[in-house]
Homo-oligomer: A and B are copies of this chain.
Amino acid sequence: MTDLVTFGETMLRLSPPQGERLETTDELDLRIGGAESNVAAAVSRLGFESAWFSKLPDSPLGRRVTVELQSHGVETPVAWTDDARMGTYYIEHGGAPRATNVIYDRADAAITTVSADELPLDRVRDAEMFYTSGITPALSEAAAEATSTLLEAANDAGATTVFDLNYRSKLWNHEEAAAGYRALFDAVDVLVAAERDTREVLGREGSPEDLVRGLVDEYDFETVILTRGEEGALALRDGETYEQPVYEAETVDAVGTGDAFVGGFLAARLDGEGVATGLEYAAATAALKRTIDGDIAVVTREEVEAVVGEDDAGISR
């Protein structure tokens, strides 16, 4: 039995060295990134069995993804195809007042043709937890249908289902996204939602507490976690709210912070921990991620627990 199955797109991630620009660089760092594989990798590194479902081109570029995910212990029972390309994104790290610049080149990626039939559905039914994000149904109709099929299969089988809104304005607009999300909410137990997406896409108003209570009232989620950037996070479960501040971090690379947060939370939950501890693990994993280059939280459970326990970040000899 797998602890966690995730489903989504993972792209190649290409970035110039710090201080250099895409226009003029002669060198790119190659990593991989995708919300669902980032979460699977974090959960695997924190001690659980995770698997990532997707569809990839049968080429060195597709294998680049499975090679890196396997290195973190993630199983990769993906569908392979000869007929589609590899999604790619370019990231040029900024620094005030220059914005970090992300260029997506993901149209017609292999996953846009995915069908639930191509994936080992049984493994979803056997999993303790299933996770996907709002990026996946936005990729194509086929991807939306597969998302729905997998989410419902997991839910029907009794797995805890987790969904992160992860609104991407370059994939769909507010109305499309809201409709897409709502079509899935019935099958979702745990919702992770950025405050801005909650307001702008789902159209909710009021205080952060209003937001989480409203979401639970309307959609009957078991748990809602509202992520609020520098303000930390606010969760609601069984009528009780939990606040979690962020741990301060010397940021090397902010991309993937949100996925590390989810990964930390899910790992704690798989361990049987409650919401409060889950949020601490989430925030600690997220802070550690910020100190590491790449999308993936290359951390250990000991490191996460050292942050939770508020140890000093000095040198230990």
Interface residues of A (CB under 8 A from B): 14, 18-31, 59-61, 63-64, 67-68, 70-73, 85-86, 88, 90, 92, 94-105, 107-108, 168-170, 247-250, 252-255, 284, 287-288, 291-293, 298, 303, 306-307, 311-317
Contacts and interface: CB of A to CB of B under 8 A. Distances in A.
Given A26-B26, A298-B24, A97 B249 contact: yes
B61 A103 contact: yes
B291 A94 contact: yes
Contacts of A315: 94, 99-100, 102, 254-255
A43 B206 CA distance: 47
A194 to B, nearest CB: 12
A291 B64 CA distance: 19
A17 to B, nearest CB: 8
Contact of A292 (B21, B107, B252): B21
Given A60-B92, A70-B70, A317 B26 contact: no
B26 A30 contact: yes
A284 to B, nearest CB: 7
Contacts of A250: 95-96
Contacts of A61: 22, 90, 103
A316 B102 contact: yes
Report, nearest first, the 9 A-B pairs whose CB atoms are least far apart.
A95-B250, A71-B71, A19-B293, A22-B60, A19-B252, A100-B315, A96-B313, A95-B291, A98-B291
Contacts of A96: 248-250, 291, 313
A55 B118 CA distance: 38
Contact of A105 (B63, B70, B86, B303): B86
A147 B145 CA distance: 41
Contacts of A97: 247-249, 284, 287-288, 291, 307, 313
Contact of A27 (B27, B169, B248): B27
A249 B99 CA distance: 11
A93 to B, nearest CB: 9
A64 B99 contact: no
Nearest to A247: B97
A205 to B, nearest CB: 22
Contacts of A60: 21-23, 90, 92, 101, 103
